[in-house]
Structure 1
Amino acid sequence: MMTRLFAFVSWGAVGASTVFWALRLGVEAPRAPSFTTPVGPAAAMRGDWSRVLGEPPQAAATDDGDADGAVEPASASRFRLFGVVAPKTPSDRDGVALIAVDDKPARAFRVGAVVDGQTVLRAVHRRGASLGPRDGTATVELELPALPPPATGALPPARAGAMPPPAPMPGMLPRPPAVAAPAPAPPAGDEPPSND
């Protein structure tokens, strides 16, 4: 009995191996389209990995070559505040603001992060955020738009019989109208007793 079991397991392994290698060798790898270009490992590593590793983005050098690093006046019209995550207790280093700069898509900035050029997010409070230079006072105050008032009102009073009957479900026959059943007739042979 053991010999038969051993032979069955051995031949099963040989068959599975044959099927595996036949499928492996008989299939071609998919070909890349003709318009693709191969990328070597040197080209793939050209990106800035500092943001992936957690370092805050570096401030870009100004094109006009200001040696003193003067901050251009920040205009409140360039920035738009979409939302804030402010701590319950006031703190200088906590909070995140969702800000769009120059009609670009909004991005999330932590307190102290560079928003644009030399402008950083200085503080976040419950309904707004303040921007300014890193070593100065806040020059721009952004506020969230006021929330619309809540919709209030009352439902009309319910009236008896005001609700329409439910519509029949598709595929079902409509219910026949209710017909009052006639009163049963008295038996023909029995006469009601008379009070004479």
Structure 2
Amino acid sequence: MTGAVEQGDRKRRGRRAAGQDTRAALLTAARALFVERGYEGATVRAIAARAGVDAAMVNHWFGGKEALFGEAVLQLPVDPAAVVERVLDGPPERIGERIVRTFLGVWDDSGGGAFAALVRSVTAHDEVARVLQEFFLHTLFARVLASLDVDQADLRATLCATQVVGVGMVRYVLRFEPLVSAEVDTVVAAVAPTLQRYLLGDISAEPG
């Protein structure tokens, strides 16, 4: 009897869940198609077909294409809408800090991971720049700024993207020291004030 139990335990521990295989296949397919076709061109149906599964599995495992993009390309632990909620949850004067901490916290764990791979492919794939633009300008910063009710929202969103994408590129792709080895608190202290000004400060031109 004991031997049968031990054998059953070994089988359970050694067997990989089919659902996890499906999820992993979707992530792999999504990373490839987002680079090849951009965000709009990488449809749910196309991603599912590349993964060899039914399109309904995208919603089942990720809740939709936006969340799949967030995890597959940017390795966000939650979908982009939840990231916006997290960033906005707290004092407005510390939004810049929360944004920097969120992305460094995610990317540091993987050394840049899929984000670094995406940035490296910009010159080889025309759609990659559009993918980055769609996410950072429209999915992330446009939503944040809409909640803040500020002027020149498009310009502010673009300026914010220069900070987040720029830090990501230099820290994980170009790997310039001392930014690569700098502690998160050091990077936050240096970058967050500029990001904060882009979000809520005065960005108007000085009078001549």
- TM-score (normalizing by structure 2): 0.24
Bigger Rg over Cα:
1
Structure with a larger share of its residues in strand: 1
| Greater RCO structure (CA 8 Å; 6+ sep) | 2
- TM-score (normalizing by structure 1): 0.25
Structure with a larger share of its residues in helix: 2
